Structure 1
Amino acid sequence: MTAGRPPGAVLWDLDGVLVDTETVLFEAEREAFASHGVTITPEFKRAFVGLGGDEVMAAMADALGVDVDLADLGRRKMAAYAAGLPFLRGFAPTAALVRAFAAAGVPQVVASGSPREAIAAGLHVVGLDDVLTAHVSAAEVAAGKPAPDVFLEAARRVGVEPVDCLVVEDAVPGVLAAKAAGMRCLAIPSVVDPLDERFERADLVVRGGMAAADPEVLLAWALGSATMRG
């Protein structure tokens, strides 16, 4: 995607970008680990933001040095997550962007590390399931973020070359995955203090996170009518 040319497709991360899931996800993961006698904290979890559902549980277990049944851990996490669905909220800036891209006729796909059922449930709760009907889960590809697989599969499904795709992400693994896929990336960090220097690999970084995201400015940049670096 070159300057002055709108994206052929927009590929959305889900958690922390379209749906404010981090609190609910952490509580689900905390309960899952607690069932195995392991305690995790928000500070511990911060290092794993942006990894996919199965991969994040495996990475946390490995970091903790505990031997647990990952399949059972995953089932417990998803059960606790389902119980927390009513507490999910969306983000006004990205919801506005989704609808603006839809109005402009730009294809959009959700490409997430979450399972397909979690993607569908989250979009339904925040009222975006009528627009974002195409989903790809990292469970459907060989490797999750920071590997590029989920974004490459999303591009393939809508028939758009990777270079013509714009990825919207909140976490470093997603930014790295987007760039590995050869795609443009808009980063709206979910953790802004301190800001991980690897966010600089994105084409545009909203340094203040979602609170500083102006959908009109971001839309103008994405559609090629503005050039800027945040």
Structure 2
Amino acid sequence: MRPAAVLFDCDGVIVDSEPTTDRVIAANLTRHGLPMDPDGVRSLFRGGTMFGVADAARTRGANLGEGWVDAVYAEVFDALAAGTPLIEGITGVLDALDAAAIPYAVGSNGPHRKMAITLGQHPALHDRLRGRIYSREDVARPKPAADLYLYAANRIGAEPSRCIVIEDSATGARAARAAGMRCLGYAPHDDGAALAAVGARPFRHMDELPALLGL
């Protein structure tokens, strides 16, 4: 059955922002007493919030001041502004959804400013998403709570049980499951086992997605 709506995560699903973000966070934590490489950041923190990164890093011995989240976001924003490509094939997915008259929205654990920087580099795509970009800043609890995806579904007038979520992290897949939504897990670099373990159906290439959505 075709979905009533499709809800996309942003980082790693629409924009290829995660390698840059992971690199900046790794360098920053290393400077603050917690040696870390981008792979370590990805495995520990993927899909979470920067506040969660701060809490976890402190428990591992990082010396982070009270203003760390704002400071690291400033570094991340500068790096992303230098150039953040789209995920290959995502424009074709949105074209197929438009052709089928299926609404879609974005729900991200990142702040609105981050999405304005990354999506804003791609004006045509940013324009077609305008008014349908939602952040953990809009709800009480971030992913893996259900709040963000339930909020997005409500805002676009879709029954949650008939929505499909596109995610690349176990955190996001758990949020979809908590919201009672089917999840397709984008796993371009591995077999998607971590996503499958929390109920997502993994896929490797965006050009597979229209068929998986029943289009």
State the match for 1:118 in structure 2: 114
State the match for 1:61 in structure 2: 58
Superposed displacement of residue 112, structure 1: 0.3
State the match for 2:38 in structure 1: 42
Superposed displacement of residue 103, structure 1: 2.9
Superposed displacement of residue 107, structure 1: 1.6
Decide whether the 8 Å contact of 1:168 with 1:188 is kept in 2. yes
Superposed displacement of residue 192, structure 1: 1.4
- Tell whether 2:14 aligns with 1:18: yes
Decide whether the 8 Å contact of 1:12 with 1:167 is kept in 2. yes
Normalising by the residue count of structure 1, what TM-score does the alignment of the two structures yield? 0.82
State the match for 2:70 in structure 1: 75
Superposed displacement of residue 194, structure 1: 7.6
Q: 1:220 aligns with which of 200, 211, 214?
A: 211
Decide whether the 8 Å contact of 1:11 with 1:166 is kept in 2. yes
Decide whether the 8 Å contact of 1:24 with 1:87 is kept in 2. no
Aligned residues: 211
Q: Quick one: distance in 1 between partners of 2:29 and 2:84?
A: 21
Per-residue CA deviation, residues 49-93 of structure 1 (Å, 9 max, x unaligned), is: 11123223323333x1335235x1111222112211222111122
Q: Give aligned-pair identity as a percent.
A: 31
Moved more, 53-62 or 183-192: 53-62
State the match for 1:89 in structure 2: 85
Decide whether the 8 Å contact of 2:32 with 2:62 is kept in 1. no
Name structure 1 gaps, 5 residues minimum.
Answer: 226-230
Moved more, 43-52 or 30-39: 30-39
Q: Quick one: distance in 2 between partners of 1:169 and 1:42?
A: 20
Over 3 Å counting, the alpha-carbon distance change for 1:164 and 1:193 in structure 2 is closer
Name the Cα RMSD after superposition.
2.2
Over 3 Å counting, the alpha-carbon distance change for 1:31 and 1:47 in structure 2 is closer
SS at match of 2:75: helix
Per-residue CA deviation, residues 4-62 of structure 1 (Å, 9 max, x unaligned), is: xx211111101111111112111332344355344322232122111123223323333
State the match for 1:130 in structure 2: 127
State the match for 1:152 in structure 2: 150
Over 3 Å counting, the alpha-carbon distance change for 1:142 and 1:152 in structure 2 is same
Decide whether the 8 Å contact of 1:168 with 1:186 is kept in 2. yes
Letter matched to residue 48 of structure 2 = L
State the match for 2:103 in structure 1: 107
Per-residue CA deviation, residues 149-198 of structure 1 (Å, 9 max, x unaligned), is: 11111111112111011100011111111011000111112551683264
Name structure 2 gaps, 5 residues minimum.
Answer: none
